[in-house]
Amino acid sequence: LVRDCNQRRIMVDLSHMDEKGFWHTADISDAPLVASHSNAHVLSAQSRNLTDRQLAAIAETQGFVGVNFAVPFLREDGDRHAPTTVDAIVRHVEYLMEKVGEDGVGFGSDLDGATMPGDMKDVAGFPLLVDALAARGYSQALLEKICYGNWLRVLEATWGE
């Protein structure tokens, strides 16, 4: 299936795979590895968050990680009901940028009914997150990459121009 998807230029999303499935896909795929809505395992030890080794594999393929906004995937304790702020998303963005690089990180959100931090219940909360990143010194050019540019890059790399 993965080889067929690669041949047809269909993106294979790793976000709902377990680690064994991730590595099986990574071993046979010739496309950029993409986890559309996953976070850093070291910051929140959820099974679908990515280990440093997985992040290195994504970086090696010039792949992409979309940061998941769902509270249990952001928090160290995984508590889906605990008050959580946009700063938790920022922590994951910053960590993923260190591991994957500024061309491989963007927003994955997961706004389909999961518990979100504070005012991030829907797309109306995105300016809060962008403002929080800007307050950390992120340039306009980098914010554009994170908001949409990196998605476009990996889609073009997968689908072709």
SS3 readout for 116-148 = CCCCCCCHHHHHHHHHHHHHCCCCHHHHHHHHH
User: Could you report the per-residue pLDDT of 79-131, keeping only the tens digit for each?
Assistant: 999 999 999 999 999 999 999 999 999 999 988 878 999 888 889 999 999 99
Q: Which domain range does residue 125 map to? A: 2-159
Contact 5, 11 (CB under 8 A): yes
Strand partners, 64: 34
Q: Which residue has 């991030």 as its token pair?
A: 120
CA distance 20 to 96: 21
Q: What percent of the chain clears pLDDT 70, i.e. is strictly above it?
A: 99
Whether residue 156 is predicted with pLDDT greater than 90 in this model: the reply is: yes
How far apart, in Å, are the Cα atoms of 4 and each of 12, 13, 28?
10, 14, 11
Q: Which residue has the higher pLDDT, 112 or 143?
A: 143
Whether residue 160 is predicted with pLDDT greater than 90 in this model: the reply is: no
State the sign of the Cα–Cα–Cα–Cα dihedral 99, 87, 84, 64.
negative
> What CATH number should be reported for the domain holding residue 68?
3.20.20.140
**Residue 110 exposed, middle or buried by CB count within 10 Å (0-12, 13-18, 19+):** buried
Q: What percent of the chain clears pLDDT 90, i.e. is strictly above it?
A: 91
Q: What is the mean pLDDT of residues 56-79?
A: 97
Whether residue 161 is predicted with pLDDT greater than 80 in this model: the reply is: no
User: What are the phi and psi torsion angles at 129 (to 5°)?
Assistant: -70, -45
pLDDT at 105: 98
Mean pLDDT, the chain, rounded, equals 95
pLDDT at 21: 94
The number of domains in the chain is 1
Q: What is the CA radius of gyration of the chain?
A: 15
